[in-house]
Each structure stands twice: as C-alpha cells, then as structure tokens.
C-alpha cells in the first residue's frame, strides 16, 4: 500500500490510486488492533468514495473484533461528539476535509476524541497496515447504525445566549456536510434570521473549494452578506470542523482575530484560565489574553498536537489560524458551529458589529499564509537561519524568528512540497519590505 497517505494528523490520499478499499480494510484492522477496541463509531462525509471505503474499513474493524457503530453521513465535529458521549473505544471520521473530490481519508481517535497522529500511534498503525500481519480475533464484530446529529445539535444549541437579539446570518456550506449543522441555526429562529447558500450536498463542490482559509472562496458569501444587509457570514470547510467569518461589510475576519475574541469571551466564564494559540497567529492574541488575566501559550500547528497540548496544560480553549477552534467543554475537540454560536452571543450581548469588535483587537499587519513550491526545504531553512540568526529563534514548528517590530514563521507542509510563510509587522511598510525579502530567499 502507498504509505505516503499516512500524514502527521490524519490519513489522506487520492482515490483509488493512493487510497482504495484494500488500504481501508488494512487500516480498519490495524486501527482496532492497535487501540484494542471492542467498539468504535465511524462517520463519513458525502464524497462518492465514502461508502465503499467505509464498508472495507468496517470489514477490517469487525474482523479485528470490534463492533462498528455506523453514524452515516455526518460532520467531523459530530464524530468527535460521538467519541465523547458514546460508550465506544474510538471514533473515526472518513473525510478528506477541504481537499478536492478525488481525495478521501481517515481522522482516527481514541475514546473521548483523543486524536491519533504522528508520535501518538500513527506510525504504529501505518506499519501494521503495511505488513498485513494481523492477529486472529476470537470474534467478529457487528455493524449497527446510530443517529448522532440530534444529540450533537442540542449540545451546541445549549451554548446560545442571544437574549432579545435579532441577527441576520448567511451561512455557506460549500455543498459539503456543513449543511448538516444548519439545524443549530434553525433552532435559534426566534433570534436568527437564516439565509443559506450552497446548501445542497454535492461532492463535486461545484461552486468553490470548501476551504474558508482561502479568501477567494468567500467571495460568494461576501456578496450575499452585502446583498441581504446581514450582520455576519459563516463559511464551513469540507467536513465542518473549520469555519471562517465575514463581517457586516462583506469583509473576511482574520481567524486569529476570532481566536482573540473567543478567548476574551471565554475568560469571562473561566477567569485566569489557560488558552492556546498556534504560532502563526498575531502577537495581539497573546497580548489580549494576558491583559484579560488569562495565560496564553503558543502551540504548534495541527489538531492532534493541539489537543494533546490542551490536555497537558488543562487549557479551556485553543484557536488555530486555519479556523479550527477547540473547546475543553467539547472533549477538547473542534466545533465550528459552537464557535459560530459564541460569536453570535458576542454580537447579541455587545450590540456592536463584528467589524467593530475585530478592530478593537487588531493592531498589527499580518501577511496571511503564503505558500511556495520548493525542492530543498532544509537548504532554504538553513539559509533563513543564517540570515536571521540574530533574532529570537523558536523551533516549535518549523522556524520562527522574532524581532521587536516583526516576526516570521516558515514551516514545511505535511502534505505537499510547499513551504508556508507567515509574518507580521508593526507597520504595513515593514510587512511589505520583509515579505519581499523573505520570499526572495525562499524562492531563489
């Protein structure tokens, strides 16, 4: 089998050349054997390859002795909810997130939505699946179906606190399973006037890529927000574990700005708590958290790493520049819709616009993530270290160098031959200067 499908955070590849039914069967057997599961829950997104891969994975899992609870077509946060609320030993989301339709994959979790990634079992599962040397199980498990969406929807709705507010909201689900999260907003109909775009499930993603991190995918939502004079726009990714926001002017709100706003709100309920932010985020995130009495800790990128870090330091919340928002109250897992509900709560309580709230906490100039295709990652990192060795060096994730008035981070992609650059400066002029300077080295 093609072992390149085993990534740092999940398993992902193109179907059927990289990831086919035989690989899914092997992964099912290896996963169950590795975690010693007697029962697991499995959900999948709406990709055409999902049914066949699920059947093969379930066959492997049952032959290794586990009962499989088939959650059907659901969002990844619903799978995490199942992992934290059902008496199962593990849970799996069969998805390729925002990747094009020809991709599929697996996000593997232990009981309680504890993720399996690099350094926490992914290598063991990979090696066992590749070898095919599985133990003979004394029993064959069963497959049963269960509906999890209702419990999950009620769980998220319980966090709504909209008072007497009446908010106009536009949601873009990008023809992906984020449409299954819409009942949350519909249950809030007394306070939320909901409009949707791209609600129909269509795994070809005909309107745009399901990736709110790319601002060009938000253009349709931006236009809808302005046309309807809405208070906010909400955009999901392909499996609805990430979310992007559009303000009332039709402008995208930076995802680390949302991290800051959510942090300040959560600290009112959990004062003096610890909050994590990924190292690509604006330094304003930590400044605002600390000023509000919380403890801000920088973390590396990736859901598997962040969830472990949250548990290690007992963090109540974590935010990632890619639009992942993690909650201790949600088994330390992401829920894009829970993040959206909390943002709506802020709008209701403050009576302010999203752009006004954002403006209060944005004070620096950030580049956003800039990708460059490269051949010699180590050589480029060496050149950058030599050139900027006089700064404060952090090797938490790739290379981060900090100066008094600017910083940059360069890290290799886990899935593509890319270097990802993020930088921030006190002024736009300095940002422009340093961006060109760094890209000249990276792309030389």
Catalytic residues: 97
* Whether the Cβ atoms of residue 208 and residue 174 lie closer than 8 Å to each other: yes
Token digits of residue 193: 């006037």
The angle subtended at Cα 265 by Cα 190 and Cα 97, nearest 5°, is 75
Q: Which among 89, 85, 78, 84 has a CA at the least distance from the CA of 39?
A: 89
Token digits of residue 131: 């070898």
* Whether the Cβ atoms of residue 325 and residue 80 lie closer than 8 Å to each other: no
d(CA 235, CA 178): 9
Neighbours of 194 (CB within 10 A): 17
Alpha-carbon dihedral sign for residues 394, 399, 401, 406: negative
* Whether the Cβ atoms of residue 270 and residue 251 lie closer than 8 Å to each other: no
| Exposed/middle/buried for residue 125 (C-beta within 10 Å: 0-12, 13-18, 19+) | buried
Residues facing 159 on adjacent strands: none
Neighbours of 130 (CB within 10 A): 15
């Amino acid at each position: 089998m093609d072992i390149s499908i085993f990534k740092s955070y999940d398993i992902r590849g193109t179907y059927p050349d990289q990831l086919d039914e035989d690989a899914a069967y092997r992964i099912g057997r290896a996963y169950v054997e590795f975690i010693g599961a007697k029962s697991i829950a499995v959900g999948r997104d709406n990709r055409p390859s999902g049914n066949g891969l699920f059947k093969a994975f379930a066959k492997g899992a049952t032959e290794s002795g586990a009962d499989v609870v088939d959650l059907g077509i659901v969002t990844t946060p619903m799978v995490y909810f199942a992992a934290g609320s059902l008496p199962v030993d593990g849970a799996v989301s069969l998805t390729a997130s925002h990747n094009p339709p020809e991709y599929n994959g697996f996000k593997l979790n232990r009981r309680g939505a504890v993720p399996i990634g690099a350094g926490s079992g992914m290598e063991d599962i990979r090696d066992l699946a590749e070898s095919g040397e599985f133990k003979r199980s004394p029993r064959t498990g069963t497959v049963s179906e269960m509906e999890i969406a209702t419990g999950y929807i009620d769980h998220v709705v319980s966090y709504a606190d909209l008072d007497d507010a009446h908010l106009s909201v536009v949601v873009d689900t990008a023809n992906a399973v984020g449409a299954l999260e819409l009942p949350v907003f519909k249950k809030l109909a007394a306070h939320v006037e909901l409009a949707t775009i791209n609600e129909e499930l269509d795994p070809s993603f005909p309107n745009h890529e399901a990736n709110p991190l790319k601002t060009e995918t938000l253009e349709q939502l931006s236009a809808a927000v302005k046309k309807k004079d809405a208070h906010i726009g909400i955009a999901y990714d392909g499996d609805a574990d990430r979310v992007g926001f559009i303000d009332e002017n039709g402008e995208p709100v930076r995802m680390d700005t949302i991290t800051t706003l959510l942090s300040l709100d959560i600290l009112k309920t959990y004062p003096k708590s610890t909050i994590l932010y990924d190292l690509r985020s604006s330094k304003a995130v930590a400044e605002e958290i600390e000023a509000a009495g919380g403890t801000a800790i920088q973390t590396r990128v990736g859901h598997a790493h962040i969830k472990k870090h949250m548990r290690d330091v007992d963090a109540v919340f974590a935010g990632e520049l890619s639009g992942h928002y993690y909650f201790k109250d949600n088994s330390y897992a992401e829920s894009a819709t829970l993040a959206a509900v909390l943002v709506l709560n802020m709008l209701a309580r403050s009576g302010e616009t999203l752009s006004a709230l954002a403006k209060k906490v944005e004070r620096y100039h950030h580049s956003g993530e800039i990708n460059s295709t490269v051949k010699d990652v180590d050589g480029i990192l060496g050149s950058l270290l030599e050139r900027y060795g006089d700064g404060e060096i952090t090797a938490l994730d790739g290379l981060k160098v900090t100066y008094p008035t600017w910083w940059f981070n360069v890290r290799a992609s886990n899935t593509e031959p890319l270097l990802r650059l993020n930088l921030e400066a006190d002024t736009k002029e300095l940002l422009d200067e340093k961006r060109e300077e760094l890209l000249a080295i990276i792309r030389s």
